[in-house]
Amino acid sequence: PFRTHVHVEHDEIGYVLVGTGSVTVGGVTRPVKKGDVWVIPANTPHGGQFEDAPQVLFISSPIDDPDNQDRVWLDD
């Protein structure tokens, strides 16, 4: 699973390359599979769970820099 969090200043797009699971964006959960895309506006809570060994591509704008404190975990 990826823990529920927000990105304060950037939008994010997710694309499933391999695998299945579910994604929650802004309190709405939906199943996802290979080829599915979702958009996460800045400051929107999101998280998810995937089966087995998924491959998911995330595109962030601006870039998701690990040194940037833009990501806020909501379960801390």
Average confidence (pLDDT) over 29-53: 94
For residue 38, what pLDDT is reported?
96
Show me where the domains of the chain are located.
Answer: 1-36+52-66
Average confidence (pLDDT) over 33-52: 94
Residue-wise pLDDT for 4-27, tens only, equals 999 888 899 999 999 999 999 999
Residue-wise pLDDT for 55-73, tens only, equals 999 888 766 666 667 777 7
Handedness of CA 49, 52, 67, 59 (dihedral sign): negative
CB–CB of 6/43 below 8 Å?
Answer: yes
For residue 46, what pLDDT is reported?
95
- Residue 48, pLDDT > 90, answer yes
Beta bridge mates, 43: none
